[in-house]
Amino acid sequence: MSEDPAVLAEPGRDDDGELQILYVSGAPRSGSTILGMILGQLDGYCDVGELWALWRPAFQNGDLCGCGLPVDRCEFWSRVMRDALGPDFAERGPRLGRLHRRTMGTLRAPLVWAHLRGWRQNPDYEEYARGLADHYRAIAAVSGGRVVVDSSKMASDALVATMIPGMHVSVVHIVRDPRGVAWSWKKQRQQPGPRGRQLDRHGIFAAASRWLTYNAFADLLLAPRLGNRFRRVRYEDLLRDPAVVTADLADWLGARSTTNPVSGRPPLLSVGRPTHPVWGNPVRTSSGDVPLRLDDEWRSRMKRSDRRMVALLTLPYLIRYRYTRRRS
């Protein structure tokens, strides 16, 4: 870990010129949006939020970009979509979204892995990989960034990204206490903006199942494939000392020094330039100094019976991620 949290590593391409993709994996409601925002403020990094949602549903529904404009009216995304797909992007893009809906997603990660192993070939994965590559290159060109931060979370999308020639993919796997995740799923949330829709809500069984699925696939499919390009971070550690964790991640990623975007007590994330996360937690539209606060409301407000049930359902990984201690 870096001795001085204010000194970080500056990103860059590999020596052979490969574009770097930093993929944030993990279960929904685990802090991937705020982690992507933090990493996106490093010099040369461009945070695009959950890229899978660009064509479904963000573009079609006019959901807000992180810059505050609807995605279909954001100049950044208009340039990216045109560069990636050409002048007929409004027709080609939704087709790519339908391809993702039909062939990708959380539960299909083992099928993508089987395709990579040569056991069950599916040309749809190759087609989606080409479309994803076009978008990554366009994002880098339009933003001027050298590292694209994609917080799509799903192991299937990360596996497809590793298929793309000329891409150096690293994965940060963020995990959160499943009881905190289950509590978050019970709360009503809404996408920002006048057309913002209510986000889905889940009960404790569905929330625990999703938590297990996302994290197990990251452990079993992504970690072995990526080796030392895979790093796990706990949400609780990140929010308790974000400057130090950010410094540690940046040291893992890069080479030369730059400024830590997190500072102060209580810690603040300095969002000093326009950002364009296309989907994720509503906090993505924040700018200026953004407070970073650990959300552990579940400890005082969640029913004890619900906490015990979630712990029982997720026990193997609860132990693996060190959430069995009383104040983990």
Strands 19-25 and 167-175: parallel
Is residue 155 classed as helix, strand or coil in its secondary structure?
A: helix
pLDDT tens digit string along 55-107? 988 888 888 899 999 999 999 999 999 999 999 999 999 999 999 999 999 99
Full-model pTM: 0.91
pLDDT recorded at residue 138:
98
Q: Which residues pair with 302 in a beta bridge?
A: none
Segments making up each domain of the chain, as ranges: 7-320
Kindly report the three-state secondary structure assignment for every residue of 200-259: CCCCHHHHHHHHHHHHHHHHHHHHHHHHHHEEEEEHHHHHHCHHHHHHHHHHHHCCEEEE
**Domain covering 7-320, topology:** Rossmann fold (3.40.50)
Q: Residues 279, 167, 122, 230: what is their CA dihedral angle, to the nearest 10 degrees?
A: -70
Amino acid identity at 313: L
pLDDT tens digit string along 125-139? 999 999 999 999 999
pLDDT tens digit string along 1-54? 333 333 343 334 454 568 999 999 999 999 999 999 999 999 889 999 999 999
Q: Tell me if 54 sits within 8 A of 284, measured CB to CB.
A: no
For 70-74, 75-79, 173-177, 310-314, which range has the lowest pLDDT when averaged over its residues? Answer: 70-74
pLDDT tens digit string along 183-237? 999 886 665 555 656 667 778 999 999 999 999 999 999 999 999 999 999 999 9
